[in-house]
Structure 1
């Protein structure tokens, strides 16, 4: 692949990773807004989510913050990989990115489906595609 195509896919990965960082940060600083977002995904035709008491709502906000912190830490590590070894086309960077995304997708989506929240697995599929398209496109650039 030409260097300009590699840079296109590399920028794509940086943008997607920064998007995940922004999403993660939103879970921390705007849990009420994110609750509305997730309610629309998980409870579109139901008012089940409105019956949470104050303690349950506080716990959900805590879990959103915890999830956001973990996702942010993971995304910052991915961003570092992209900015340094991936940019230098070091084989380990491509494998680290790909393994991290695949492991997250399998575990998160399997858990989501097994607990009845298939909608999250659909959301995961969108994120998977945003990452895997450029990773697949750059695979040959890492073969030496």
Structure 2
């Protein structure tokens, strides 16, 4: 039963990492759509950012692409961790997911709130829940005493 539960959450994590990869890729390959999506999210209008002027709009589009590249790369690494080490009950893999998740979420939320973009906090919260659910669900599998479950470093 425990093996099936681990498999379910491992596949869940792999799916979320693939969603992350696709999101990052979309920011890179569909920059206008990304700009309009964030404009709608933050300002309630898909074209509001376009009113900032050509230079600002171009820079914002560039930042979305650069952000997409970082998200894409992060997602690929997490996909490999989910597929192999996490599936093999590596505590290091579980810790890598947790550290990566909190290393992104906490600072991003603080920056978003400092600049008044609560909408980004809402978007972050969706991804956070999708990632933290399997970590919470598998905590006992990975972290019970070593004599109860073999775990790799």
What is the TM-score with the length of structure 1 in the denominator?
0.94
Displacement, 1:50?
Answer: 3.4
1:58 is matched with 58
What is the CA-CA distance between 1:5 and the residue it aligns to?
Answer: 1.3
What's the CA shift for 1:112?
0.5
Residue 9 (structure 1) shift: 0.8
Higher relative contact order (CA 8 A, sep 6+): 1
Larger deviation: 72-81 or 127-136?
72-81
Larger mean Cα displacement after TM superposition, 53-62 or 115-124: 53-62
Superposed CA RMSD in Å reads 1.5
Equivalenced residues, count: 144
Could you say what secondary structure the match of 2:89 adopts? Answer: coil
What is aligned with 1:67? Answer: 67
Q: How far apart in 2 are the matches of 1:47 and 1:84?
A: 43
Unmatched segments (≥5 aa) in structure 1: none
1:109 matched to which residue of 2?
Answer: 109
Aligned to 2:18: 18
CA deviation string 1:118-138 (max 9, x = no partner): 110111111110010111101
Distance 1:45 1:77, change over 3 A: closer
CA distance in 2, matches of 1:28, 1:18: 15
CA distance in 1, matches of 2:46, 2:54: 19
CA distance in 1, matches of 2:54, 2:47: 16
2-side partners of 1:73 and 1:58: how far apart?
A: 23
Conserved in 1, the CA contact under 8 Å of 2:28 and 2:65? Answer: yes
Which runs of structure 1 show a deviation greater than 3 angstroms over 4 or more consecutive aligned residues? 45-48
Name the CA distance, whole Å, in 1 between partners of 2:51 and 2:108.
26
Match of 2:44, SS state, is: coil
